[in-house]
Each structure stands twice: as structure tokens, then as C-alpha cells.
Amino acid sequence: MTNSEFEIPEERVVVTGIGVVLPGTLSVDRFWANISGGRSQVGRLTRFDAEQAGLPVYAAAEIDDFDHHPFLPELTDAHAAKYSREILITMSALAEARRDAGLGPGALDPRRLGIVMSSSRGPFGWWRDVLTGADPDAFGDKGAMFRGLPGCPASLSAVYTGAQGLVTTVSNACVGGHQAIQLALRELRSGAADAMLVGGHEFPIVPEVAACYRAMGHGVLSSEREDPSRAVRPYSNDREGFALGEGSVVLCLERESVARRRGARVYSEILSAASLNEAAHPTTMDLTGKVTASVIEDALASAGRRADDVDYFCAHGTATRYNDIAESRALRALYPERTTAALPPLSSNKPIYGHTFGLAGIINVAATSLMIHHQTLAPTINFTTPDPECDHDHVFEGPRPAELGLAVSMSFAFGSQTAVVALGAPA
């Protein structure tokens, strides 16, 4: 057995709750309406002055004014004043996931409830304001300790919800969300926990992050100016990169026996998760497709499934050339005997919510869980003429009814990393 796979005991792990705070999206129902209906939440960048920063960046998926009170009614204003916007949004997404799962007070032994979060950059915006002097009162109260730590959204959520199990935060670029799920699976399958709240939070819409990706050259960060909603165009010949997105999404994962005993609604089953560091190029994923295909095969094998069983792939889909062709080549490596037309369908939600880095894998798994629940595939919007390297079955025509029993979510990250999560329809 390698570190990218593990045996699945008899006990199954299921998704029973989804909490969402994303641009234009404050509920799981709205989330499904947006991704299935192809309603882009990418709009005009307002968070900073791009011209003043000397950046040709005009689009982003931004959360407008957010009120945490409906989500966190027991949080006093005195405590909330010590927290950051990032913390309050993440706590709200977690509270909503718990509510959606029906995990009210006393539903579980608090020592058997844990929290695992993923964030690529943590409270970068707060530290930026501190270091540039934009917030001269940053250290005006002891809340600075909360606002400056990347793990505080998880730990303060644990305080608010009473979770006394494992509480931690993963920071590993764009594979962090899938790795958080992998860590939670191990807690659940080892018997250490009955339920895990697993999520991500990312707030990268600041000039320094935009400048970081612009420095990588053309085609990484979109410079679409005329129609921001079309800024992200994965797999298309006219793609030009991604737009920055922000927010938090949290999943409630439970041991199936616990969920069934309390009569919980089940969206999907998490079958397996696998993660591999290719130990190769630090900024470019495997372009042969063979390494990614092997990680997918590992994840499926540990779930007792095969590639031929997969009905759908939820892509990383960043609308960057290397990412797009890497995913397409992985499909061809995974199915060497199939014609292009016979490859499983694939789609990306990045044109809806932008690129959210450490949160992206969680969004993927939430979206895939809902596709399984509704037996409908959500489309890749803004798809025009396909890149010839990516000419296969893209879901682009709108929501597509499907018999969806097995799906795979993919993610890639700087540092030569690949991670996947396999999901199935509940038994």
C-alpha cells in the first residue's frame, strides 16, 4: 500500500450537509441553481484599483456585503468585532453545513466531531493591510491574534459549534481541499470520529496575488474587460486564464451508520481520496497524462472500482493551457482504447466562481455531490471552439440528465501535486 491509497473498511462515509458562502450564493439551493443553470458570479473587479496597481485585471468573483447574523445567531457582537471577514464567512459556511445536515445540539458526542479546513494563503488580506499601514488599528485589540492566524476560522468554528475532535487546517495550494477530505476520511474510517466538517476558505482578491499570477505570463490570469462573466473559458481556443474568486464552502461527512441511524438525508458517498506529489516540475503538472491517470486508478482501485465504471469527471478546469491539456491527456491515458467521443463527460465550475485555490477542491466535491443527488451534470459555461487538444465530451449545452453512479473530482497544484476524490451514489 502506498501513501496515495488506503483500504476502505466496511463502514461507508457519506456527505450529509453542504454549507455555502460564495459570491451571489448563500445557500446550497442557490449554489445548485448557479452551477446547474450556468449563472456566472464573476463580475467587474471592485475590490482594488487595478489601474492604480498597474494590473490589466478587470474581473473577479466577489462577495458583496455579508451579514453573518442569520448564520451565527448565538455569536455576540462583542466577539464578532474581534474576528475578520474571512473568519465570519467561514464560520457561517460551517454553521450552514451543520444545519443542512440536521446536526443540531446534542446530535453527536462533541468529542467525535472534528473540523478540517483548507486555505492556500490564509489571512493574507489582513496581513497585507497590517504591513502596508492600510489598517492602523490592526493591533488595537486582542482580536489581532485571531485575525492573523490561518487556523483560526477552524478553531473558532469549533468553539462556536462545540466540536472537540481533531480541528486543523491544511495549506497546500489547490490540492488542499481534496487533502482535507482525505484527512477527514482517515479520521472517520479509523473510528476516531463520527462526523467531520470539512471545508475551505480563500480570499485572494488583492493586488499582490493578482500580480503574482500576472508575473507568470500571458494566459494565467484573465484580462477580459468587455464581459467579466465570460472571463473564464476552459478548454476553448480563446481562453486566457482564470479570474480570482473568494468565499467558503463546508461539507459534513459522516459515517454512514451514524447518518442512517439519525435519518439524515445523504447527497453522495465519498468512496476514496488519493494524493501524489510528482516530484517533478514545480509549476507544471504532468503533461503526458500518465501520472494523473495512475492517481485516478489508485483512488478507484482502493474503492473497488475501475476507470470503466466512471460516469463523469469534475475538472480542475482553470482555463490555462497546461491545466486544460493535462486533464485531456489524463483522460486519454486512462482510456487508451476509447475513441475521443467515447471518453466520459467532463466539466468545470471555475467560470461560475473563479479560481479559489485552497477552496477549489471543496467546491468541486460539493458540486459533484449535488450532481449525483440530482442525477444531472452541471455545464462548463463560456465554452466556444474547443482547443483541438481538448476535443472530447464537454458538458457545455446546459444541465445534462445523467445516470451518475461514480464520479471523480480532480485538482492540481504548484509543487508538482495532483489529488483526486472519487464519489458514488449512496447505497
- Catalytic positions, please? 174, 316, 355
> Phi and psi at residue 328, in whole multiples of 5°?
-65, -40
**Apex 342 CA angle, 340 and 347, nearest 5:** 80
Give the distance from CA 110 to its chain's centroid: 26
- Cell matching residue 198: 470539512
C-alpha to C-alpha distance for 79 and 399, rounded to whole angstroms: 43
Buried b (16+ CB within 10 A) or exposed e, 357-386: bbbbbbbbbbbbbbbbbbebbbbbbbbeeb
Is the Cβ–Cβ distance between 53 and 290 less than 8 Å? no
**Cell 489524463 -> residue:** 330
Return the number of other C-beta atoms located less than 10 Å from residue 230's C-beta: 17
Maximum Cα–Cα distance across the chain: 64
- Cell matching residue 221: 490570469
- Between strands 13-21 and 247-255, the pairing is antiparallel
Is the Cβ–Cβ distance between 317 and 349 less than 8 Å? yes
* 76, 92, 135, 159, 351 from 145: Cα distances, Å: 18, 20, 15, 15, 35
Q: What is the gyration radius of the CA atoms in the chain, in angstroms? A: 20
Burial of 339 (0-12, 13-18, 19+ CB in 10 A): exposed
Pick from 96, 97, 47: nearest CA to 68 = 96
Pick from 209, 237, 20, 34: nearest CA to 125 = 209
Return the number of other C-beta atoms located less than 10 Å from residue 266's C-beta: 20
Is the Cβ–Cβ distance between 266 and 18 less than 8 Å? no
76 residue type, one letter = T
Report CA dihedral (66, 69, 75, 81) to the nearest 10 degrees: 40
